[in-house]
């Protein structure tokens, strides 16, 4: 009975080690895939969400300033 328990312990240890190796391989594959996607996006000149939001806010502010200036010009033209 003692020998059988040793065999099961060895098999259990082998499976535990195999799971550790599989987890390491999975982590490495995820890192490689993320790196590949990041490089692909950088090569395509995509912008981040933060950059997009910043430019959109600047454009909105510029539109508002243009509308204010147009209203002032229209008021000046009307007063002449």
Contacts of 55 (CB under 8 A, 6+ apart): 47
Taking alpha carbons only, the member of 71, 20, 36, 9 closest to residue 1 is: 9
State the maximum Cα–Cα separation within the chain, in Å, rounded to a whole number: 110
pLDDT, position 2 = 58
pLDDT, position 48 = 85
In tens, the pLDDT along 3-61 reads: 678 888 888 899 999 999 999 999 999 999 999 998 888 888 888 899 999 999 999 99
């Amino acid at each position: 009975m003692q020998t059988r328990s040793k065999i099961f312990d060895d098999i259990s240890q082998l499976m535990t080690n195999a799971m550790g190796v599989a987890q390491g391989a999975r982590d490495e594959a995820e890192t490689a895939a993320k790196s590949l996607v990041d490089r692909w996006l950088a090569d395509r000149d995509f912008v981040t969400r933060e950059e997009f939001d910043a430019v959109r806010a600047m454009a909105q502010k510029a539109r508002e300033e243009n509308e204010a200036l147009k209203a002032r010009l229209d008021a000046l033209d009307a007063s002449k």
